[in-house]
Structure formats: structure tokens, C-alpha cells
Amino acid sequence: MKAIINPRPLAGTVPAIASKSMAHRLIIAAALANDPTHVVCNTTCADIEATVRCLTALGAKIETTEDGFSVRPAPRSVGFGLLKALHGGTLDCGESGSTLRFMLPVACALGAEASFIGAGRLGSRPLAPLSDEIIAAGCDLDGLGGFPLKTSGRMRAGRFVLPGNVSSQYISGLLLSFPLLDGASEVAVMGKIESRPYINLTIQAMKEFGVEVTVRHADATSTQPESTTFSVNARGYRSPGTVQVEGDWSNAAFWLCAGALSNAPIAVEGVSLNSAQGDRNVMAALSRFGARIQRAPKCATAQPDALNGFEMSAQDIPDLVPVISAVASCAQGTTVIRDCARLRIKESDRLATTASELNALGAHVEVDGDNLIIRGTTELNGGTVDSHNDHRIAMMVAVAASRCTAQVVINGAEAVNKSYPDFFDHYRLLGGDVTLIEE
Ligand SMILES: O=C(O)C1=C[C@@H](OP(=O)(O)O)[C@@H](O)[C@H](O)C1
Ligand SMILES: C=C(OP(=O)(O)O)C(=O)O
């Protein structure tokens, strides 16, 4: 699909969509719990559907309701938490990294003979530190490095070790699987942990289902002073009956950044200001640029003002980098975004595609090692760009287009369906002029 945008500033109010990060976690816990759960989730997307599909393949019954999902765990067979229908199931993760990295340890903890498949870049996004630990815990993984990836054997409880700087999804995946194992388990994470807020989301979701995760930081005398250990003693998830997926900050960020680039405010309604989502820090980043941010209960508003570049780290907020780069492209002076290495292993090489697609519109973005250096300009031109099948690149370009002087064409605009199928409808709601052409 091609999106043709005739540039104009955006303004107004949009409703927040449901957090896909929280939806993955809550639906997984619900499908593994002792009783059914009503998961209130006001929107869905390709990635959430991938998680639903995988859990269904493992025997859970998940129905779409008016306001979310009704999740009934699969009937138990022998042993605690073991599901029926585990043999030969195909788990189609689509393009969702979270789904694969969460469902792989879950399937192995259940002793499932599962065949994982996926699409797009997913097969080449790294699994290695997680898969090594799963194999060390007694499972066979056949077909690593692509699809199908077949699992057999049941993961043993115990101690797992992971690095902190590749993907927090490995840590979240192991944690989600721990209540299914025959005994207490822990994961020791070595070195500085990147994307740490996402682990907090996992801990929060597990807590809603009665599972406590204990976190211990190594003291200065330890041989591994930088390690953090996450341990779980509980066996099984307990359904609280109903859970609510909160509003999504990662996607709200696109509109708040558009507000900073506009001539009138943009508000996103339905986000929690106390959320554990790291991408809530888009508000802090926009304030640092000089935009005015208003915080009201369940609503954030960004108002334009003079914007100036600054230096920041992407350590905990990788998904904000593309859209923050769009803002930086129109701010005075230079913005430096450090700690971006892991952007290379997302849906596209996001370091390269953030730079190439913003530069195609007339911005000045340079990749310098693991950093992005963005020199602001007063005007973006317009032109034809490619999403590289990456939702956050397509949405970044649409936001940058609001500041262009000439038409912008986004090839591969359907990429938005991965996290935000209503993105272009909401773009129009804010006054955007976009025509979508199916190809
Ligand atoms: O756990 C999650 O929900 C996510 C973790 C992050 O990945 P990394 O931990 O690999 O940085 C983030 O980029 C991704 O979009 C969602
Ligand atoms: C990287 C993302 O998701 P995932 O890793 O789940 O594919 C994302 O949503 O930007």
C-alpha cells in the first residue's frame, strides 16, 4: 500500500490504542492461568493477533469480545500447567519479535512439540542467548537461524544466565515461563540492562496473575557486580477474573511528537501518566526539546514551541528513536541519540532506515557508530520514501511529512498494521491529508 500525504500541520485529539507490550503479556498469563480471564483491550493489531494465534495453537480458547478477549486456558493434562494439544502445533508468530521470544520459552516450559514459523525479518532477528539457555535446560531446538523452528523436550527449572544488552524480550520470555516449571527458577542478567522498563512491565503483568518476581542486585563485593537476578518461586498463574490493557505510550509518542512539530496542540486520551511503560518518557524528551507538555489524568498534550537539540540515550526507549529523530530533524542545533545498537535488530535496521528515510525528505541524519547525530533544519522537502516493512519507520515518515513543503509518498505503508492498523484514520482525525492506494 502506498500512502500519499499532502503536508499540513496536525492538531486535535486522538484516542490511545491498547499497549501491545502489555497485551502480549496479559494474554499469555491469562492463557496459562487456572481459570478464564476477561482481558479488556480496546484495540488489536497484527502482533497481538500473532500471540493469540500461538496460544490458540497450544490449546487455549481465545474469543474476541466487544471490548477485548475472553481467554480460556486449555484443559490440563497430567502435571501442573501442562496443556493438551501440545503435539505438532504450528505457532505462527508473524513478524512479532515479542511473540517469538515470549512463546518459545513458554512452549518449552510446557514441553510442547511446537513448530514456530514467522515472516518478514523475524527469522533473522537474533535468538541466540535465549536459545542457548533453553537448550542448556534440556530442550532440543531444531532449525535455529530460520523457520520452521521445532521444539521438543521440557525445560528444567533452575538458573539461567543472559546478557543485558541484546534484547530484554529474552528476559521477559524466561520470566513468563518460570511459573510453568517444576521448581523455583531465576535468570541472572549480566551487565547493564537495556530496555529495562519492559522487564518491569513483565513483572507487573505477572503480579496481576498472582506471581511475584523477586529482583536482587549484586553488591559491590560480588564477582559479578553488575548482575541482576530475577527469581520466581510461584507455580502457576492465578486469574484475577478481569484485567485491563492500558493505553500505549509507544504509539501515542507519534502524535505527541507531531504536536511538538505542529502549530497547535495534539492530545492523546487514554494513557496512564503513572504507567511503567518506558516510552512514557517521550514527554520528558519533548520537554527537553522545548515543547510544552500538559499532563492531565489519562491524557497527555504536546504543544509546539521553539525546539532545540540535545543529547540523550536510547537505552530504555528504543522504539522512540525514529519519531524523536523526526522531531530532532526540525529542531535547532544538533541532537545526539546514544546507545542505539539494538535498533539494528528490529523490524528493519532502524539505525540505517531512520537516517535514510528522513534524509530522503531533506533531513540531516548521520549514523555514527551506535549513535545517531541529527542536525536540525528549518524545512523538510518531501519525496518518496520506503517503510522497509517497518511500522515505526512508516509512522515516523508520516509525522515528519506534517512539516514538509512538498508531497510525501510512503511505499509499504501497510507496515503500520503490525502495531497500529488505525494509524492513518487517526492521522486524518488530526486533519492530515492522506490517500491510501492499495497495490
Ligand atoms: O518487551 C517488549 O514488549 C518490547 C521490548 C523492546 O525490545 P528490546 O528489549 O529487544 O529492546 C521493544 O523494542 C519492543 O518493541 C517491545
Ligand atoms: C520491535 C518491535 O516489536 P517486536 O520486537 O515485538 O517485533 C516494535 O514494536 O517496534
In degrees, to the nearest 5, what angle opens at C-alpha 22 toward C-alphas 294 and 10? 40
User: Does 152 show up as a binding residue in the annotation?
Assistant: no
Query: What is the pTM assigned to this prediction?
Result: 0.97
Residue 88, pLDDT score: 63
Report yes or no: 20 and 347 within 8 Å, Cβ to Cβ: no
| Distance of CA 20 from the midpoint of ligand 2 (Å) | 9
318 — pLDDT class (breaks 50, 70, 90): very high
CA diameter of the chain = 66
Residue 84 clears pLDDT 50, i.e. is over it:
no
Q: 1: closest CA among 422, 418, 436, 395?
A: 436
Whether the CB of 169 sits within 6 Å of ligand 1:
yes
For 255-268, write each residue's pLDDT tens digit: 999 999 999 999 99
Top CATH class, 20-234: alpha beta
329 is in an annotated binding site: no
392 is in an annotated binding site: yes
Mutation to probe ligand 2, out of 19, 27, 47 (largest number of atoms < 8 A from CB) = 47
* Beta carbon of 248 within 6 Å of any ligand 1 atom: no
Residue closest via CA to ligand 2's atom 8 equals 319
Q: What is the pLDDT of residue 76?
A: 60
Annotated catalytic residue 319: yes
The H-assigned helical ranges of 81-163 are: 97-110, 128-136
Average pLDDT of every residue of the chain: 95
Measured distance CA(400)–CA(326) in Å, rounded:
6
> Which DSSP letter does residue 404 get?
B
| pLDDT tens-digit series, residues 123-167 | 999 999 999 999 999 999 999 999 999 999 999 999 999 999 999
Please list, in sequence order, all residues whose beta carbon lies within 8 angstroms of the beta carbon of residue 221, skipping any fewer than 6 positions away: none
Q: In the chain, pLDDT over 90 holds for what percent of residues? A: 92
**What is the ipTM, given to two decimal places?**
0.99
Whether residue 68 contacts residue 30, with contact meaning beta carbons closer than 8 Å, is answered with no
The length of the chain is 439
What is 219-273 written as a DSSP string?
PTTSSSTT-EEEEE---SB---SEEEPPBPHHHHHHHHHHHHTSSS-EEEES--T
Rounded to the nearest angstrom, the distance between the alpha carbon of 380 and the centre of ligand 1 is 30
* Annotated active-site residue in 319, 339, 386, 390: 319
24, 31 Cβ separation under 8 angstroms: no
How far is Cα 24 from Cα 18, in angstroms, rounded to an integer?
11
User: What is the CB neighbour count within 10 angstroms for residue 91?
Assistant: 27
Of 321, 335, 333, 324, nearest in space to 377 by CA: 333
Instruction: Answer whether residue 80 shows pLDDT above 60.
Output: no
Residue with cell 496473575: 209
* Candidate CATH numbers 1.10.760.10, 3.65.10.10, 3.40.50.150, 3.40.50.720; the one for domain 2-17+248-437: 3.65.10.10
Q: Which of 418, 420, 423 for mutating ligand 2's site (highest number of atoms within 8 Å of CB)?
A: 418
Q: Which atom of ligand 1 is nearest to the CA of 24?
A: 3
Q: How far apart are the C-alpha atoms of 99 and 130, rounded to whole Å?
A: 14
Helix, strand or coil for residue 430? coil
pLDDT digits (tens, 9 = 90+) for 375-398: 999 889 999 999 999 999 999 999
pLDDT recorded at residue 86? 57
* Span(s) in the chain for CATH 3.65.10.10: 2-17+248-437, 20-234
Residue 207 assigned to a binding site: no
C-alpha 404 – ligand 1 centre gap (Å): 30
Which residue, among 121, 175, 128, has the nearest Cα to 345 in the 3D structure?
121
